[in-house]
Copies of this chain bind each other. A is one copy, B any other.
Amino acid sequence: MEIPSTHPRIKSLKLRQKLVDGLRDGIVDPAGLIAHGRGEAFDYLLGEKTTDEAQKAIKAAIYALQHAANPVISVNGNSAALTSKEIIELSNILDAKIEVNLFHKSSEREKKIKQKLLDAGATKVYGVGVDASERIPALESNRRKVDPRGIHASDAILVMLEDGDRTEALTALGKKVLAIDLNPLSRTAQKADISIVDNISRALPELIKAAREKPKPTRYNNKKNLKQTIDKMRAGI
């Protein structure tokens, strides 16, 4: 579909088109379109901008990833469709592994996502097929299957568009969870160690920028940061 470049909602429409293309290519699950729509509504309430609170969370998340022994970036269909290149760039700067982990698991889709990441320049992609031979305890969904050299061995994980169950299970294992989630009320946002409430298409470039600048340690309070974000959204209704 041709979107006129002057369209006031050009950015939002382009993201949608990437997801619809991803659906056609077998990268995105239909449920991913629903999740995206949900995020759009929260983004609208934020004024579709990266807030100061998100910037603080981004810096704190990068500090945690840069000081982790085994940082991992967890990728699903939507994040692969929207930000493959940025994910790879970030993983290179952070020396972080990339692992595919899907809520709506399908070996076909896993492989396609892996291929998309490889095509975009990834040198290694974890967690696909038989590589996901370990299990996260206390998790019933298919997301429990993880790579023993990836998420299973990690101490800090960047997750995007995540389900709350897995976030809880990962934090219960003592792993630091850094989440990008537009819904500040979600279990993921509430349970993660650091919650970046932002659109991933804006957050990833900011994460890359922060990773290059190597932020110093700062005091960061996730509960307080979320509360301030929620106040901003409340003003947006």
Contacts and interface: CB of A to CB of B under 8 A. Distances in A.
A20 B30 contact: yes
Q: Which of A23, A230, A237 has the most CB of B within 10 A?
A: A237
Given A4-B140, A7-B165, A44-B183, A30 B19 contact: yes
A8 B164 contact: yes
B8 A41 contact: no
A141 interface: yes
The number of times this chain is found in the oligomer is 2
Given A4-B141, A35-B37, A23 B16 contact: no
Interface string A195-229: 00000000000000000000000000000000000
A231 to B, nearest CB: 8
A23 B30 contact: yes
Q: Is the interface of A mostly helix, strand, loop or mixed?
A: helix
A173 interface: no
Contacts of A185: 44, 237
Contacts of A164: 8-9
